[in-house]
A and B are shown apart, each in its own frame.
Chain A
């Protein structure tokens, strides 16, 4: 399967995404921000980094780039799009996902391995996660506190759009387990149609045991399983 990884000026996890895709034995290609078409890819990853230097707000400039119009079109046609860290911020700025990401509670940048629970194991981004598994994934962000109107949060919960929540090592949701102050411990969400998702943690940096965890592979495997199943001759 072929993933496309967007490259904005200031993307810095683009190579990490490609590394993860290749490590799992699939293909990847880069899409430069000035390109106007997503080509023949089957899923899109919007990587972390500081697109356009995070001028204005994180992700605010990237949403106006030519490639993003093509990504929006790809998503409207049902294509799978996953935004990671800065990619999540871009998806929120572009209106593909509700809510916003603001400065961490505690004000400082935070890098550590956190624990996550996949809340809805039927989405194209979570369907390969084993039951009751607590996922260990690194975070590295200064603006990862997820906020939205109470009605938006209620909507997300009602429609199973909260895909990942910060938990402790045993899978329990608690304030202590929340690294950035996100509402309802939300680490990532999907859209109503379930083909666009974003999260602050970096699954692409946890795809090999050598990296301290390989739980990140479930993100890519879920997407691969979904795309393969939808193909006419797919298994």
Chain B
């Protein structure tokens, strides 16, 4: 029976009365209940980007390497040479994870993996970016434990290594945790698969497990504020992930793609069957007719509305060349996966859905997929920024002396070692990761078995390749200056890649913000996108796609604006892979970059971790960013790395020089319970008017700590002078203490204490005291 279309019903579908009128105009009639459901998900922010589309046009996808750009397909594809390419993307699963952390995070991983193998690529690694409220709350502890277990469960079982990530803890994520999942896959150029429905009469197949009622209208749920009410509704229909099914689906899809029988492939993610049929028809400039009675179903009495909007996991839509249907049967029977021919491609431009002999939806596919309303909102700069930007150093109490401040910073969960998290992820499967979690960037190798085909034949037709991967996004800096903070996130990602020896080749970004109807939040989005777009263009790192997650707020408030930058880079050769930790005694320690930035009256402390931890001050204007210098520093560093003289490289970010030096001393790990600690003695020349706290913990940039054999110091200093780059020798490695002399004072810590404080901090917080 058709329910009456009231304003309440519209609101529960996330549609405004104006949007409803637009639907009526488009159709020339009132939509059926089923059609209303379809519009609600296709025109949700999650699927249509209706609030951000005009802003996202600023991103440049231009680069000779880009084979598939942003928005064209399910993931961007970038050339890495030798006719090989990588497909990668990041996507959020914030709202589902807030409601059910284990399944929410697990299905987030499942969804992004499908986006990758839908492109025809074999996923070779995954990564994640997580945000939680402070760990002193049992609720946040449970969220962290649930999310990490969920990511681990899915990735470990599927068999893709989780190699990198970043995690921050802040009160603004209390009740609004963020879970962004990234995946990367490898394929040959000619293996790129398309999500277009083409060839009139070609059959449309459904493959994968039967459809149930899970995750009904999850895309619409993700496009509204999180409230207790909406959470309760969703809890009853949370998606459940089965990584085993996904692994079978992966192998079956890649095997079938290799036959050439497939003309179009699209995963069923958000809005399931609806979104996949609309998008393939819209891309193919065709139509699709499907019969719901043929769709495999878990319960006998599902309504068309439920079948169309279900977000049951691990399903795919395939368009097959007519006459080659038997090949689908052969491959999917081999993998013991359900399949069904559910319809055909038409030339009508319409998505036509039949159920028990009746047409339940007849909608223009192009309009659904591409003609969602677009809103150009106006932003307003938050009033509180004036106050933050007027912070001066004489108003900072500096309550924590350097000796204890460093220990507090290393024990602060956002800076502390994340080993409690990544040891629950299999980062060794696929023999792919060659620089494990715990350095500036992960390094993954691309080898014979990274390709879609599974073969035991020996020779590879290409030399092994090495990719660097990093995720970055310091939201505190973005809140205090969205434009500058977002540029800093991109700059830090580029710096992390440079430290591992990699040249940036592409970016995927995840924009996590609050409710865009709030002009101050919309302003954050505007400024942030501008900053990311400019910085990515500057580094020659095209944005090849990403995800926008808005409405990350609950009745208490919105999250800090949290753009996450996932940057992928290519490393020249195996010898250029570089890690952050000190290697040998008696190497020279050099600081590339300025000790302190004379333009910055806060001496790098604006928005710093030090102010937060020492004085509970989340204030000040973040340090200036100089993209030109960032690039020149990165280029010089890579040059020295590629010439073979750099033993370690680590950039200064949260916690400044003192935390960076600590990490150089303590982050090398040979195996279980076996850290390889190495001290250093540092002398910093006095800087007029710069406080010790600013020297040690200021976050001005770009600054990179590198080590080289002492005999190479004159060469490095000489070349830096020619390049007009600031660099200085600040000390040497050796001993069992980190000792930093600044002016008349020497600050000194035992590296064993530093290691213990940093390594066990998260685990200690999770244990009931």
B245, B428, B449, B574 — which one has the most chain A CB atoms within 10 A of its CB?
B428
Which of A69-77, A108-116, A123-131, A147-155 interfaces with chain B?
A108-116
For B335, what are the chain A residues with a Cβ–Cβ distance below 8 Å?
A: 9
Can you list, as one digit per residue, whether each of B238-251 has a CB less than 8 Å from chain A (1) or not (0)?
00001111011000
Residue contact A109 to B247, C-beta cutoff 8 Å:
no
Residue contact B157 to A53, C-beta cutoff 8 Å:
yes
Partner of A140, one of B149, B426, B448, B458: B426
- Tell me how far the C-beta of B106 lies from the nearest C-beta in chain A, rounded to whole angstroms: 13
Residue contact A169 to B456, C-beta cutoff 8 Å:
no
Residue contact A15 to B454, C-beta cutoff 8 Å:
yes
Residue A193 at the B interface, CB < 8 A?
no
- Tell me how far the C-beta of B37 lies from the nearest C-beta in chain A, rounded to whole angstroms: 32
Given known A50-B157, A108-B149, contact A10–B672 (CB-CB < 8 A)? no
Residue contact A210 to B434, C-beta cutoff 8 Å:
yes
Residue contact B247 to A12, C-beta cutoff 8 Å:
yes
Residue contact A10 to B247, C-beta cutoff 8 Å:
yes
Roughly how many angstroms separate A52 CA and B458 CA in the complex, as a whole number?
Answer: 28
Residue of A nearest to B449 (CB): A15
Residue of A nearest to B464 (CB): A210
Residue contact B458 to A113, C-beta cutoff 8 Å:
no
Partner of B428, one of A9, A29, A202: A202
Residue B427 at the A interface, CB < 8 A?
yes
Residue contact A115 to B672, C-beta cutoff 8 Å:
yes
Q: Which of B148-194 contact A (CB under 8 A)?
A: 149, 152-153, 156-159
Which of A16-24, A95-103, A217-225 interfaces with chain B?
A16-24
Residue contact B671 to A9, C-beta cutoff 8 Å:
no
Q: Which of A1-51 contact B (CB under 8 A)?
A: 5, 9-10, 12-13, 15-16, 18-20, 22, 27-30, 48-50
Residue contact B428 to A140, C-beta cutoff 8 Å:
yes
Residue contact B423 to A111, C-beta cutoff 8 Å:
yes
Partner of A13, one of B423, B424, B427, B429: B429
Q: Which of A206-226 contact B (CB under 8 A)?
A: 210-212
Residue contact A136 to B248, C-beta cutoff 8 Å:
no
Can you list, as one digit per residue, whether each of B546-588 has a CB less than 8 Å from chain A (1) or not (0)?
0000000000000000000000000000100000000000000
Residue contact B449 to A18, C-beta cutoff 8 Å:
yes
Residue contact A29 to B456, C-beta cutoff 8 Å:
yes
B153, B158, B429, B456 — which one has the most chain A CB atoms within 10 A of its CB?
B456
Roughly how many angstroms separate A176 CA and B429 CA in the complex, as a whole number?
Answer: 25
Interface residues on A, range: 35 or more
Residue of A nearest to B162 (CB): A111
Roughly how many angstroms separate A114 CA and B245 CA in the complex, as a whole number?
Answer: 31
Residue A117 at the B interface, CB < 8 A?
no
For B426, what are the chain A residues with a Cβ–Cβ distance below 8 Å?
A: 109, 111, 140
Residue A190 at the B interface, CB < 8 A?
no
For B448, what are the chain A residues with a Cβ–Cβ distance below 8 Å?
A: 19, 22
Given known A140-B429, A205-B428, A212-B436, contact A109–B156 (CB-CB < 8 A)? yes
Residue of A nearest to B443 (CB): A210
Roughly how many angstroms separate A27 CA and B458 CA in the complex, as a whole number?
Answer: 8
Residue contact B424 to A19, C-beta cutoff 8 Å:
no
Partner of A109, one of B152, B245, B434: B152
Given known A5-B456, A19-B448, A108-B424, contact A177–B157 (CB-CB < 8 A)? no
Q: A-B contact count, CB below 8 Å? A: 121
Roughly how many angstroms separate A176 CA and B157 CA in the complex, as a whole number?
Answer: 27
Residue A93 at the B interface, CB < 8 A?
no
For B153, what are the chain A residues with a Cβ–Cβ distance below 8 Å?
A: 109
- Tell me how far the C-beta of B580 lies from the nearest C-beta in chain A, rounded to whole angstroms: 15
For A181, what are the chain B residues with a Cβ–Cβ distance below 8 Å?
A: none
B157, B247, B672 — which one has the most chain A CB atoms within 10 A of its CB?
B672
For A112, what are the chain B residues with a Cβ–Cβ distance below 8 Å?
A: 423, 671-672
Roughly how many angstroms separate A169 CA and B671 CA in the complex, as a whole number?
Answer: 8
Residue contact B671 to A115, C-beta cutoff 8 Å:
yes
Roughly how many angstroms separate A10 CA and B429 CA in the complex, as a whole number?
Answer: 13
- Tell me how far the C-beta of A143 lies from the nearest C-beta in chain B, rounded to whole angstroms: 11
Q: Which of B416-454 contact A (CB under 8 A)?
A: 422-431, 434, 436, 445, 447-449, 454
Residue of B nearest to A108 (CB): B424
Residue B336 at the A interface, CB < 8 A?
yes
- Tell me how far the C-beta of B461 lies from the nearest C-beta in chain A, rounded to whole angstroms: 14
Residue of B nearest to A174 (CB): B673
- Tell me how far the C-beta of B446 lies from the nearest C-beta in chain A, rounded to whole angstroms: 13
- Tell me how far the C-beta of A37 lies from the nearest C-beta in chain B, rounded to whole angstroms: 17
Residue B390 at the A interface, CB < 8 A?
no
Residue B6 at the A interface, CB < 8 A?
no
Roughly how many angstroms separate A168 CA and B244 CA in the complex, as a whole number?
Answer: 34
Residue of B nearest to A202 (CB): B428
B242, B430, B671 — which one has the most chain A CB atoms within 10 A of its CB?
B671
Partner of B427, one of A111, A115, A204: A111
Residue contact B671 to A136, C-beta cutoff 8 Å:
yes
Residue contact B672 to A18, C-beta cutoff 8 Å:
no
Roughly how many angstroms separate A108 CA and B425 CA in the complex, as a whole number?
Answer: 10
Residue contact B424 to A113, C-beta cutoff 8 Å:
no
Partner of A16, one of B244, B427, B429: B429
For B671, what are the chain A residues with a Cβ–Cβ distance below 8 Å?
A: 112-115, 136, 169
Roughly how many angstroms separate A50 CA and B154 CA in the complex, as a whole number?
Answer: 11
- Tell me how far the C-beta of B517 lies from the nearest C-beta in chain A, rounded to whole angstroms: 41
Partner of B458, one of A22, A30, A142, A202: A22
Partner of B431, one of A10, A19, A109, A111: A19
- Tell me how far the C-beta of B424 lies from the nearest C-beta in chain A, rounded to whole angstroms: 5
Residue A54 at the B interface, CB < 8 A?
yes
Residue of A nearest to B427 (CB): A111
Residue A179 at the B interface, CB < 8 A?
yes
Partner of A211, one of B243, B244, B336, B431: B431
Partner of B424, one of A27, A111, A202: A111
Residue B670 at the A interface, CB < 8 A?
yes
Partner of B429, one of A28, A54, A55, A205: A205
Residue B674 at the A interface, CB < 8 A?
yes
Residue contact A30 to B456, C-beta cutoff 8 Å:
yes
- Tell me how far the C-beta of B150 lies from the nearest C-beta in chain A, rounded to whole angstroms: 11
Residue contact A15 to B430, C-beta cutoff 8 Å:
yes
Roughly how many angstroms separate A48 CA and B454 CA in the complex, as a whole number?
Answer: 16
Please name 10 further chain A to chain B contacts, defined as beta carbons within 8 Å, in addition to the given A15-B431, A18-B449, A114-B672, sorted by A numbering.
A9-B248, A12-B430, A50-B244, A53-B157, A53-B242, A53-B245, A111-B426, A113-B671, A168-B674, A169-B670
| A residues in contact (CB < 8 Å) with B | 5, 9-10, 12-13, 15-16, 18-20, 22, 27-30, 48-50, 52-55, 108-115, 136, 138, 140, 142, 168-169, 176-177, 179, 202, 204-205, 210-212
Q: List 13 A-B contacts (CB under 8 A).
A: A9-B336, A13-B159, A15-B449, A16-B431, A19-B448, A22-B456, A50-B247, A53-B157, A55-B244, A111-B428, A113-B672, A114-B671, A138-B428
Closest 6 CB pairs of A and B: A12-B159, A53-B244, A113-B671, A140-B426, A138-B428, A15-B449
